[in-house]
Chains A and B, each alone.
Chain A
């Protein structure tokens, strides 16, 4: 009872990275709280899930196996979590800030009247005092997230209601195996006790989901462009540089909104968080919401014609000049000097 729960996202029998990252974070929070980590798998053909999640320090895996539970639809998965959480009374429940987690989380939180914080960038354990009521709460989950377009960072707590729920985007937490031989137990539940036929009110009649071809999260070098590039054509320059030096192309939210780059390339608080060894920021002014997603890069080169661009303050190298001039030169001199 009162353990930490993680909802597992499963695609083609594979537990998604975002869930494994949450298990890693969940394990360390659970150690602080001296509680167990429990994972919930809802779908079908779940016999290989345990082997994937136990090494992350999962003590109990709850499985709900029914062919109708794949692909995901809102109501049946909600019904499972609402009843399971009612029985198990988790103190914390985490899920990915993905299409699924952001559909499921709010619905579950509404049904349980428990607070949910979306898109957390950090989760910590700490105490809280409600001065008005003179009450002190110990060991609450601090749900830390940027707000207001990333201009402020808010720490949210849920003093009274359980579970304390939070969603986290992929890449924000690190994924780390705890112990390859960690032993957890599996509890297979009877789906009929949790989901009624009337929950299957929405059906998926077509589905085309592909694993992303863009591998920004794992790329050691990222060339990223911002609104300052001015056009989709100029973005091609970044692809040229990326192809030359073996990098992946990323983009700021403003560049994606302007149609210069695809959504899956968006880096920042509302996109992907990256930690490459080299980040080349081209025509990116450095709005906080972007910086939040790349500040942990080992080395940052900022190319900008504005010498006062905010991104310059976190860059190791600042090149003041036009991207259209500098980037082709980088291509040229790389070709000249590499073997």
Chain B
């Protein structure tokens, strides 16, 4: 018998390729100027799920994402790579959620999906880098967690074994299912799209859409009202410019600089 795996995935603006027009003049983010992508570490989580599916017959991989209607593309990308299906949680009631309200919404959807053995997600999303949603979902579901996974080694006898890549080393952790695992950037790349699966899934509905009411979410715990953290202020970053001295790369210029640094004991 296989496992029921849920992969949590987020559509994010590609903050790694921030161009000059990414910020508006008033200092807010110009989301329209940033392409929307599959959060990179969530793709790595999907890969771990697909490997388990290949290894343990009968395993199913279901994606769960939350966002605007276009986030359905996340589920479609998953289908292109071998996932079995997915859900899109979309409702204005979820807007403005901090990590806690996001976790609450996701946990209600997971309860609605029903039985599961393993939840996999990226460690963090590149638009926030908080790494909070995974552990908070686990807490809301009352299941344990293993974070910073580089590789899921095995899932046998009701236990899952995971290699964790940590600052300064490696740890192997083992625990009883069900378990939530967050996957770090030390994990192997996700496989590319499969051409046959692209043909099969490129048209039509990719995800089952759910609203807050569909997952019996308490509106008080969703979106802004369910978020204990409030954004007090946002500023665009301006650094204090210094008066700098510009040099060319000629021998003379470099030697003069080095001699100056040696003389004033900055180096040497």
Interface residues of B in 17-31 (CB under 8 A from A): 18, 22-23, 27-29
Q: Whole-angstrom distance between the alpha carbons of A205 and B28 in the complex? A: 47
- A141 nearest CB across to chain B (Å): 11
For chain A, the bracket of interface size reads 35 or more
Known A147-B128, A156-B230, A204-B173; judge A246-B144 contact (CB<8 A). no
Q: Flag whether B127 is at the interface (Cβ < 8 A).
A: yes
Q: Which one, B65-73, B109-117, B239-247, is touching chain A?
A: B239-247
* A287 neighbours in B (Cβ, 8 Å): 18
Q: CB distance A319 to B248 under 8 Å?
A: yes
B234-268: CB near A (< 8 Å → 1, else 0) gives 11110111101111110101110111011000111
Q: Flag whether A117 is at the interface (Cβ < 8 A).
A: yes
Interface residues of A in 294-339 (CB under 8 A from B): 295, 299-302, 307, 312-322, 325-326, 329-330, 333-334, 336-338
Q: CB distance A212 to B167 under 8 Å?
A: yes
B103, B127, B140, B175: residue with the most chain A Cβ atoms closer than 10 Å:
B175
- Nearest B residue to A119 by beta-carbon distance? B129
Q: Flag whether A146 is at the interface (Cβ < 8 A).
A: yes
Q: Which secondary structure dominates chain A's binding surface?
A: mixed
Q: CB distance A207 to B228 under 8 Å?
A: no
Q: Flag whether A149 is at the interface (Cβ < 8 A).
A: yes
Interface residues of A in 201-235 (CB under 8 A from B): 201-212, 221
Q: Flag whether B98 is at the interface (Cβ < 8 A).
A: yes
Q: Whole-angstrom distance between the alpha carbons of A327 and B71 in the complex? A: 46
* A307 neighbours in B (Cβ, 8 Å): 246
- Nearest B residue to A78 by beta-carbon distance? B139
Interface residues of B in 115-129 (CB under 8 A from A): 126-129
Q: CB distance B232 to A338 under 8 Å?
A: no
* B234 neighbours in A (Cβ, 8 Å): 147, 152-155
Q: Whole-angstrom distance between the alpha carbons of A110 and B140 in the complex? A: 7
Q: CB distance B18 to A329 under 8 Å?
A: no
Q: Whole-angstrom distance between the alpha carbons of A211 and B144 in the complex? A: 28
Known A221-B267, A245-B268, A321-B248; judge A209-B228 contact (CB<8 A). no
Which of A146, A152, A318 makes the CB contact (< 8 A) with B27? A152
Which of A105, A201, A210 makes the CB contact (< 8 A) with B132? A105
> Count of A-B contacts with CB under 8 A?
259
Q: CB distance B173 to A106 under 8 Å?
A: no
Q: Whole-angstrom distance between the alpha carbons of A207 and B174 in the complex? A: 12
Q: Whole-angstrom distance between the alpha carbons of A139 and B130 in the complex? A: 25
Q: CB distance A111 to B171 under 8 Å?
A: no
* B257 neighbours in A (Cβ, 8 Å): 301, 317, 319
Q: CB distance A205 to B173 under 8 Å?
A: yes
B124-165: CB near A (< 8 Å → 1, else 0) gives 001111111111101110001111100000000000010010
- Nearest A residue to B251 by beta-carbon distance? A329
Q: Whole-angstrom distance between the alpha carbons of A42 and B256 in the complex? A: 55
Q: Flag whether B172 is at the interface (Cβ < 8 A).
A: yes
Q: Whole-angstrom distance between the alpha carbons of A78 and B142 in the complex? A: 12
Q: CB distance B237 to A277 under 8 Å?
A: no
Which of A73, A270, A315, A325 makes the CB contact (< 8 A) with B173? A73
Q: Lowest 3 A-B CB distances belong to which pairs?
A: A321-B249, A149-B15, A115-B228
Can you list 25 A-B pairs with a CB-CB distance of less than 8 A? A71-B171, A74-B144, A103-B148, A107-B135, A116-B99, A116-B132, A118-B128, A128-B232, A147-B128, A152-B234, A157-B230, A201-B144, A202-B146, A206-B171, A209-B166, A209-B169, A211-B168, A212-B167, A245-B268, A278-B261, A301-B257, A312-B244, A313-B244, A320-B247, A325-B249
Name B residues whose Cβ lies closer than 8 Å to a Cβ of A: 13, 15-16, 18, 22-23, 27-29, 98-100, 103, 126-136, 138-140, 144-148, 161, 164, 166-176, 179, 185, 227-237, 239-242, 244-249, 251, 253-255, 257-259, 261-262, 266-268
Given A110-B140, A209-B171, 13 new contacts (CB under 8 A): A74-B146, A99-B167, A130-B230, A147-B127, A154-B234, A155-B231, A156-B232, A157-B232, A207-B170, A269-B129, A317-B244, A320-B246, A337-B255
